A and B are shown apart, each in its own frame.
Chain A
């Protein structure tokens, strides 16, 4: 399941709901990304999405991850709009029969979201605003899966 939202969300409640009623998935892995304050250098993040395109592109990647890692289920929640330091930006949860697939799929989906999902991220701070593009580390991370 994929949800794009401009509202905050409660990762604990989302994870509980994702785990509920599973009798065949022996493993659930999850990741929550939180907006960093960078010691006051970042006062807000602004994420721009392309409505109608962003959902379809992420949906495709979730389908690919589901097939590649034999997932039983996957959840992606992604914020857009204005996000304050300390607030969750993204959550990924994956369910599979055994733990290795769940861990790997969660890692893979996050690597994809960081450098290939249709979002544009602007960091606001006392020194002004700047657009954040994928780092060399992000690009190395996603290249591990190609």
Chain B
């Protein structure tokens, strides 16, 4: 599976895209795995306004991750 970080999350982690194999079974397991590797990033992923998208769909709460999922963590958005 692939994890993408956007905006300040990518700067904080020092990476913007990473593969995780074997893939964690759920979004919450993925977050726990990341928090174990990088506590500051783990905290930021659960911070205010950070949303998760699985295969381009915003997810609220937890969900099982399908095989080969693309998970993106999205801090507050701002265009224009």
CB pair B6–A132 under 8 Å, yes or no, is no
Complex partner residue of A116 from B4, B11, B56, B77, CB under 8 angstroms: B77
CB pair B8–A114 under 8 Å, yes or no, is no
**Interface status of B74 (Cβ within 8 A of chain A):** yes
Chain B minimum-CB-distance residue to A135? B78
CB pair B56–A121 under 8 Å, yes or no, is no
CB pair B77–A115 under 8 Å, yes or no, is yes
**Count of chain B residues near A, Cβ 8 A:** 16
CB pair B56–A52 under 8 Å, yes or no, is yes
CB pair A134–B74 under 8 Å, yes or no, is no
Complex partner residue of B56 from A33, A53, A113, CB under 8 angstroms: A53
Complex: A47 Cα to B79 Cα, angstroms: 8
B-side residues, CB < 8 A to A, are 4, 6-8, 11, 49, 53, 56, 72, 74-80
Q: List 8 A-B contacts (CB under 8 A).
A: A33-B80, A50-B4, A50-B72, A115-B76, A118-B6, A118-B79, A120-B6, A134-B78
